[in-house]
Structure 1
Amino acid sequence: MKLVYSGKTKDVYALESGNYLLKFKDDVTGENGVFDPGANTVGLTIEGAGKAGLKLTKFFFETLKEKGIPTHYIDANIEENTMTVKPATVFGEGLEVICRFKADGSFLRRYGKYAEVGQSLDAFVEVTLKDDDRLDPPINEDALDMLGILSLEEYQELKKLTKEIAGIVKDELSNKGIELHDIKFEFGRDQENQIILIDEISGGNMRTYKNGVYIEPLKLEKMMLQD
């Protein structure tokens, strides 16, 4: 297999089959040693974070598969911290799609004049460009269409999928008494040009709380899968 991309939290290898292998790292995003799923830099390394992220990702992707949600997931090897996925192309140079149920993180930093901490939001969908140099700027559907990144029709499909998937994750978490504040997804197009969920679904992609107390990524995996 051939290394094709080394990312912040995963390395990507091309397989002879035409599929890809994702190798999960123990690095997580954040700033000044504090974890932040919305950050665009590696903030710290947490031993076991890669395996914990993969276990949760496997759980959620297999749950989505049962519900007929299109993703790039094929299978996972927990011992080797790897996941095999179908090929997909990203929109432009990559988009991040956030679904927010509570005001937190960058939403508060931008809209704190009007929003309160923990204020309820109705599955608000926000799209940002993956652009470290410009701090991942938010972008709306009109600009995505005008810049040739995503058509208006594709945006509606993306938004619908985001809300549906976030709702499934939220329900699974609530079964364990865990509250989801926000979650970040990535999407791409498969070889049939269908929009599919890519990347991962783990504690490193979401903010969760139980009884008002923030849950760290490693603890989330234990609370979800080891009870």
Structure 2
Amino acid sequence: MARRKKIYEGKAKTLFEGPEPGTIVQYFKDDATAFNAEKKDVIEGKGVLNNMLSEYFMTGLTNIGVPNHFIRRLNMREQLVRACEIIPLEIIVRNFAAGSLSKRLGIEEGTALPRPIIEYCYKDDGLGDPLVGEEHIAAFGWASQQDMDDIVSLALRVNDFLSGVMYGVGIKLVDFKIEVGRVYDGDFQRLIVADEISPDSCRLWDVATGQKLDKDVFRRDLGSLTDAYTEVARRLGVMPKGSAVPIKPTLIN
């Protein structure tokens, strides 16, 4: 049977038509990018690890009542997700100063923030995903005030869940980003967590040593990205100790 129709291809994932109406097949690639795709590489096994880890986190969110697009994992590189209308924002939650926040405000990396800070970036690769405020979001109609209230609630619930899960295995959740989509049940609209949650979209530091276990390993040439992601998967029990990452691509028909 021929492969299903491609809907969209991004830097780290490709989306295909799902087998049922209202579904999408999300394929995790091995491509790694940084600095708005100025730095690129192919890291064998990265897609497999991100698929398995995103399944783990999305399933955990479902279990505590946080709505998201995940339906089930299909194979090592693909998962079936619910189709939704993506709000064109990256929602960033910061618990510790790092990355662009440290550069913008001159705060030393690793400084604990007095409370989680939520920032928004407009999703546009050509513009470099610029930082925007709630006034921009309202003025350009990207989301309503009710949407923003719901987005903040979702983001903080995800933060509580991820922070606890990670701390339980000796990992500090420095920051992360999510995307949010709209789904419709008749005339009723609700917002759900979409895209992925993985070391690609989080900053994760070992609590004891400060070792980076996220995409900063690739950004800053700190070693093997696959080893870092595998360590996260093993601590969470997603992969047993001593097991190798299966890297051969598998596709759904």
Q: TM-score, normalised to structure 2's length? A: 0.81
Q: Is the 8 A contact 1:90 1:187 kept in 2?
A: yes
RMSD across aligned positions (CA): 1.5
Structure 1 stretches of 4+ moved >4 Å: 39-42
Please give the residue correspondences for 1:120-199 in structure 2 after superposition, counting only pairs within 5 Å.
120-121=112-113, 122-192=115-185, 193-199=189-195
Unaligned runs of 5+ in 2: 214-227, 242-253
For the residue of structure 2 that corresponds to 1:98, the secondary structure is strand
Matched, 1:8 2:11: yes
Quote the Cα distance in structure 2 between the aligned partners of 1:60 and 1:73. 10
State percent identity of aligned pairs: 27
Quote the Cα distance in structure 2 between the aligned partners of 1:45 and 1:219. 19
Which has the greater radius of gyration? 2
Unaligned runs of 5+ in 1: 32-38
- C-alpha change, 1:10 and 1:60, in structure 2 (3 Å) is same
Aligned counterpart for 2:62 among listed residues 53, 62, 65: 65
Matched, 1:214 2:212: yes
Matched, 1:74 2:71: yes
Q: TM-score, normalised to structure 1's length? A: 0.90
Aligned counterpart for 1:97 among listed residues 91, 94, 112: 91
Q: How far off its partner does 1:40 sit?
A: 5.2
Deviations 1:27-76 (A, max 9, x none): 12314xxxxxxx45563221110010011111111111111111011000
Q: Is the 8 A contact 1:203 1:221 kept in 2?
A: no
Aligned to 2:236: 224
Q: How far off its partner does 1:130 sit?
A: 1.0
Aligned counterpart for 2:47 among listed residues 41, 46, 50: 50
Q: Is the 8 A contact 1:55 1:78 kept in 2?
A: no
- C-alpha change, 1:24 and 1:102, in structure 2 (3 Å) is same
For the residue of structure 1 that corresponds to 2:184, the secondary structure is coil
Aligned counterpart for 2:29 among listed residues 25, 32, 49: 25
| Aligned residue pair count | 215
